[in-house]
Amino acid sequence: MVAWFKFSVVLALLVVLYSYVDKYVLPTLYIFDPNTLQQIVNDALATVPSGNTTALFVDINKRLREVYGDNVNEFNNDDWMFNNAGNAMGAMFIQHASLSEYLIFFGTAIGTEGHTGVHPSNDYFFILEGEQRAHALGNPEPEIYRPGDMHWLHRGYAKQYSMPSTTWALELAQGWIPGMLPFGLADIVFSTLDFGTFIRTAYFTAKAMGESALRGKF
């Protein structure tokens, strides 16, 4: 009985600590502003000729670095990696990763469909090319997002989503980023067995998080 009481007290203290950090500390670590990203995306879409996706990546990355400096990695077309998560497959390029945020290019050249996952973070998905469709439980009509639109997946919620054909996006996640990593890697361990991608993902993620930490960004 005493041991159970001590466990309950410790658990209650951990819940209180988590709630405090989540509400008052974590938001102070964010540096990216979704409204600023929306403006950057819109400006790039208005400037870069339609159909040149790589040029769009380069332009957006340049604009991001002008605002956020070295907190955004310079775009390198050799640093893409596959990503399998929630039964969907695509490719991503990590522009920023820290304990509280990540910013990536994500998409597919041929289309995909799957589960968004349930995450301890807010996810902002800015469409650059193509179309994303989402199915929120209880809504018989699809949500449809096209270039310039932003799909906000609230933390703790899940949807079915699809990108029917070539679709690329700028994606920002803000919250407990380490809590998202199992979702992003589980399909490799239990399905694809693509351990080359596992190593590549772990390397680039750890590298970006380490560089962020050295700059004091957590």
Task: Report pLDDT digits (tens) over 83-142.
Answer: 999 999 999 999 999 999 999 999 999 999 999 999 999 999 999 999 999 999 999 999
- Which pairs with CB-CB distance under 8 Å and at least 24 residues apart come from 205-209? 205/94, 205/97, 205/181, 208/73, 208/94, 208/96, 208/97, 208/98, 208/102, 209/97, 209/98, 209/99
For residue 40, what pLDDT is reported?
A: 98
Nearest alpha carbon to residue 173 among 92, 87, 57: 92
The residues spanned by each domain of the chain are: 1-30, 32-214
Which helix or strand (DSSP H or E) is residue 14 part of? helix 2-20
Cβ(179)–Cβ(100) below 8 Å: no
Question: What percent of the chain clears pLDDT 90, i.e. is strictly above it?
Answer: 89
171 strand-pairing partners: 104, 125
- The CATH topology of domain 32-214 is Jelly Rolls (2.60.120)
Write down the pTM of the prediction: 0.94
Q: What is the mean pLDDT of residues 175-184?
A: 95
Per-residue pLDDT reduced to its tens digit, 6-48: 788 888 888 888 888 899 999 999 999 999 999 999 999 999 9
Which helix or strand (DSSP H or E) is residue 197 part of? helix 195-214
For residue 29, what pLDDT is reported?
A: 97
Residue 20, CB half-sphere, CA atoms under 13 Å: how many?
Answer: 6
Tokens of 3: 């041991």
For residue 66, what pLDDT is reported?
A: 98
Instruction: Flag whether pLDDT at 1 surpasses 80.
Output: no
